Each structure stands twice: as structure tokens, then as C-alpha cells.
Chain A
Amino acid sequence: MIKKRIIPCLDVKDGRVVKGVNFVGLRDVGSPVELAKRYNEENADELVFLDISKTQDGHDLMLDVIRETAKALFIPLTIGGGIRSVDDIRQLLNAGADKISINSSAIKNPGLIREASDTFGSQCVCVAIDVKYDSEREDYYVYTHGGSKNTDIKAFDWVKKAAQLGAGELLITSMDHDGVKGGFDIDFLKEAVKLVNIPIIASGGAGNIEHFVELFDETDISAGLAASIFHNQNVDIKELKETLDQRGFEVRLP
């Protein structure tokens, strides 16, 4: 059967990997190519690169970094951040991306999801969704632009819509949990996974091995993503996968 996937995420700004807490307070943690090589060796199942410089500033696809990384990496690579058109996607796929992830531009132009999946196949179109709980309205809402803009779109509605438009996968980040290391947003993810018939990558909140066990135990989510805990080696990917294996989950072991 299909394995649960463990995915390190590299937030890249101006060619360097950075990490913040709750989407702010960025800190340099290394070179993307070097980290990618390390994760390839540590038996990560995929890598996600999010170019966070583009969402706030200009428009510059980090093609050289992607080309160099793809040469060293024989596991799947997803690229996201600032993608606005089918032409952007074509350039990224040609540079060595296996999947692309669109976020703000999919909200602005939902037709891009359909256009991208019709052109390149839905399997390479991942829609990233940043979600935050609104305690006044007692519901989850979608945020864009690196978590700085509330769209007033209900998160569960957008999850369904993105899948209907042809997304092949969803990458759902809980902003309330991101960087806090208190565990994934099980409540949201448990519901979201019931709404769609495409794979979901859970992101935001993983602080230790037990959080991944909890994610796979309590939801039908197929992949867990994290950044700083892997970069800093607070959680060792090898040990994480061995633990998951011992707890009865199917994972890819070396």
C-alpha cells in the first residue's frame, strides 16, 4: 500500500533557507541545495521549496536554485511561491520541479488551477491553503500572501473548490499552529480530508515524533510536512520513520 510521506519544507528567501514563527520573524538556516542533499540522504520522501521572497516582492522564479537542486535530488520536488501563470509553471517544470504549488494566485484567479491541470495534468498541481481559525465567526478562513491577508473565504469551501477545479493535491497549513510546535491542527485536517478525494499534505505545528503519530492515527492524511524541526535536527527523519513503522504505519525505509 501507499506509504505515509514525510516532507521537509524549505522556505527560501533571496536564495537562502529561512524560517519564522507564525509566518514572521525570519531566520537564516542554510543553503537550499545543501539542505536538499542532506534530506535526500536522510530518506525524506519529498521536498517542498517555497519561495517566500516573491510573494511579498517582485517576480523572479528561482530557476537556478531549482536546476542545481534537481541535479542532486532523486526524490520528488515541489516548488511554490509567487507562481502566476501557466508559463511560470512550464519554466519551473522544465527546470526540474515535479509538482508546483499555487496559493495566492489560485485565490485571485481560480481558473489557473483548471488551466494548469489541463495543460500539465492534475498530478503536478498542488494547491496550498493557509488556514486560520476565527473565534468570533467560529469557522476557519483562508489567508494569502504569506499569511498576511484574510480572504474572507471559508477554508472548507475552498478545500472543496480547489479539488473540483482540478488540483491533484492540497498542502494545508494551519497558521495558528505553524511554528508553535504543539502538534498538527487535527480538528481541521480530520474534516478537510473527508471533503476531497485527493491527497492532502498537513503542515504547521509538528514539534516532535508523537505529533506525526497523532496525525496519521487520527486522520486519513497521507503526508506530514515540517521545516525547522528537520532543519535543526530536533526531529531525525530516520528515527521518525522507524517509529512510524513500529507503530504500524507504512513508511518507506532505506
Chain B
Amino acid sequence: MIGIVDYSLGNIQNVKNALEKLEQEFILSSKKEDLMECDSIILPGVGHFGEAMHTIETLDIKEDLIELAETKRIIGICLGMQILFEYSTEGEVPGLGLIEGTVSRINTVYPVPHLGWNTLNSRYETLDQKDVYFIHSFMVTGSPYVIATADYGVEVPAVAQNKNIIGIQFHPEKSGDAGLEILRKAIKGGL
């Protein structure tokens, strides 16, 4: 069973559609007792880091999420990836601190947001040379746990993995068959 953390930040429908396509059972909840029943937890998210952390504080689930990360597989997608890290300049607030690194605005000569299909570079076969869909203005910096990047005038961290915790900056649920395969592998135990 997969638990999608419900913290009212859009885009949940497309994660649900992807899990249905992958024939995975899931629940949508923000309650710790529900999420404790799951093997994998997906943190979706579109929007503003500060807003997301504010919602998490309001729902009083920050400590629950940190506790769940001790035993469950956690998969953060897009903004859900960013909040796994220690801090973001978007909103100037701390994240969940589950992976070392911080989040700041993409500094490149190209247009921001980094929007569109880009190719992954990775030593992981599941990820390397796959074209996936990105749409974001902030990115992870200073993390030793990055396992895939994309070139956008700057090396954009695309996937980070620290043991059972996986952060995916692009949208696997919107990256065609390649994305669905990456999501399936992430759910099944890592990349």
C-alpha cells in the first residue's frame, strides 16, 4: 500500500492517475495512523516551499513525517522533493531535514523556470539518458546524495537518494513511459 500525503497542494490527481496506471493500491491521507499502514509514502507538491511548510505545520504533521521516514520508503516529487531537505530560500524556512542540502533559486543564463523535457545523467541505468519533464524554479544545492542531474547551464539535481528516502525533482507522473518506470522502481525499493 502507498500513502499519498494529503496536504492540499495540487497535482495529487496526476500522481493518483499514475499509480492507477501502475496498478498500485494507494490511500490519500494526512493522518499518521493511516500512513503508518503503508509501505511507501509519496509527498507530492506543486507551489511554494514556504506555503508547503506552513501547511505541514498547520496540519501538525511535520514530526509525523520525520518519524515515518525512519521506517517507510519516502518519495518526494518536485516541491515534495525539495521539502525533504534542510532549508529553502523560497520562503526562508526550514524543510523536513531528511536529506542534507538546501534549496535555492536556479542560477543559470537560461530562462527560469526550468520547464520542459531534459535528459538525465546518472550512473544508475534506470535514470541515465532518460528524457523527463521538469517544471521548477528552485533546486537543491550542496547535497552529497544527488544521484542524477540534468544540464541546464548548471547541473540541476534531478534525483537524490539517501537510503530509503528518494527525492525526484521532475514529474515522473508526467514523463511518459520513462517516468512511470522510474516511479515504479522508486516505489518498489529504490533506483
Contacts and interface: CB of A to CB of B under 8 A. Distances in A.
Nearest to A98: B174
A123 interface: yes
Interface stretch (B8-16, B23-31, B34-42, B69-77): B8-16
A199 B14 contact: no
B136 A199 contact: no
Contacts of B119: 1, 3
B175 interface: yes
Interface stretch (A9-17, A88-96, A154-162): A88-96
A130 interface: no
Interface residues on B, range: 35 or more
A75 B152 contact: no
Given A94-B10, A95-B13, A120-B10, A74 B116 contact: no
B177 A197 contact: no
Interface of A: 1-3, 5, 40, 43, 45, 67, 70-71, 74-76, 90, 93-96, 98-99, 118-124, 168-169, 196-199, 222-223, 252-253
Given A1-B151, A3-B116, A222-B116, 14 more contacts: A2-B118, A3-B118, A70-B17, A74-B17, A74-B18, A74-B175, A75-B174, A75-B175, A75-B176, A76-B171, A98-B171, A169-B115, A199-B115, A252-B131
Interface of B: 10-14, 17-18, 20-21, 46-48, 51, 79, 110-119, 131, 133-137, 151-152, 171, 173-177, 179-180
